[in-house]
Amino acid sequence: MNVPQDSENRLRMAKLRVLIVGPISGDSPGGIRTLLNELLAGPLVDYVDVSTFSSSKRTRPDRWLITGVMSQLGMLWGLLVAVVRSRAQVVHIHHGARYDFFRKSRDVLLVRMLGRKAILHVHADDFDKLWEKSGRLLRACIRWALRRCTQVVVMSEYWHGVLSGMTEPGRLAIVPNGVRGAAYRNLPPREASRAAFGVPEGRRLIVNLGALGTFKGKFDMLDAAAIVREKHPEAYWIAAGTDDSREPGTRQRLLDRIGELGLDGLVLLPGAVDVDKRHELYAAADIFLLPSHGENFPMVVLEAMAAGLPIVATRVGAVPEMIADGEAGLLIEPKDPEAIAAAVCELLDAPERAAALGRQARRRFEKLYEVDGPISKMWAELYNAAAGAK
């Protein structure tokens, strides 16, 4: 969505009332919460009057069924109250993992019953799998729910193509994710950051952030590290994150695999990292790696671009659109440890080229994905368009 040059003053005068519904509070790490924090800290609040309602999970996974039902009823009532109190004209609802779609469709229906416009923002990296596994009846339900939305937002041309078979293309809008670049232009000192994670002197550091699990390519990364060690024994690897909710217990399996491959002392799994530690990791890194089997529009790639890091990533979801092979990084096929190793070695062998890719990554980020630049204006334009939709 292109924002006209003369639209900024109009956006600032409109002050449309918008309610954002997503994992704003609680202990829910991940890309959606990161995006919301970035948007709410940026100039979006100058363009529209923003209120928030947290949809973070409020019960434990081992809760009784009745507890879960009562929690969902309470969440629905809380959303109703938030819509009424905020007097929101547009409600922006964030949808995460595939089956979360049905809960968020319920929220869309409530918003529409209250006479407000509803934007469903699809973040799920496996929504296409839900569609593929659905029978005729369930697909009809998905189509029906999507057509209740005023607007359905996806983040890339790839996902626009995926959802265009589920609803009218005119109902779909593309707004990429973004982050605020200032923090990544002023990262902590490199040597102090490396020392904070115990990176030995003289090591070349490959960093990965994200859930620990097969789907995120963590075992592929370990197999690649064993290959890279033969040519670059100085390579050191850090994979920060907690167990993937789809695959509990993975951290221990990864530690066992590290031992089997003889990678003790070369691969570190520090667990979850807060914002300050994330910034230290980007400051310490020589290469950023994303070996996922599937993604939507990963925030960690944007953060790595903003930090000026060369990127090695799998050709999944919107990633090819984000970095453009050879422009901001190197793309490889998923589930291929040898390809990961070859790309990492290519950058380790040519540090000047790696540095040039990092500079190009930062320039591409500033042009396309800066929250303090194009992204906030795109959202403000979309909100105003949705408010005026029939």
Q: Which residues of 70-92 are buried (b: 16+ CB within 10 A; e: fewer)?
A: eeeeebeeebbebbeebebbbbb
Model pLDDT for residues 330-339, shown as the tens digit of each residue: 999 999 999 9
What is the pTM for the complete model shown? 0.86
Task: Please state the φ and ψ torsions of residue 325, each to the nearest 5 degrees.
Answer: -55, 125
Cβ atoms 18, 92 nearer than 8 A:
yes
CATH dotted code for 182-368: 3.40.50.2000
Model pLDDT for residues 74-116, shown as the tens digit of each residue: 889 999 999 999 999 999 999 887 678 888 999 999 999 999 9
Tell whether the model's pLDDT for residue 325 goes beyond 90.
Answer: no
d(CA 218, CA 204): 19
CA dist 364 → 160, 172, 288, 295, 306 (Å): 21, 24, 16, 20, 9
Q: How confident is the model at residue 9 (pLDDT cuts 50, 70, 90)?
A: low
Q: Which residues of 99-114 are buried (b: 16+ CB within 10 A; e: fewer)?
A: ebbeebbebbebbeee
Q: Which residue has the tokens 């000026």?
A: 308
Q: Do domains 7-180+370-387 and 182-368 have the same CATH topology?
A: yes
pLDDT at position 24 is 80
Task: Please state the φ and ψ torsions of residue 240, each to the nearest 5 degrees.
Answer: -95, 135
pLDDT at position 380 is 95
Domain range list for the chain: 7-180+370-387, 182-368
**pLDDT, average across residues 249-257:** 93
Bridge partners (DSSP) of residue 152 are 120, 172
Helix and strand tally (H, E) in the chain?
18, 12
Domain 7-180+370-387 sits in which CATH superfamily?
Answer: Glycogen Phosphorylase B; (3.40.50.2000)
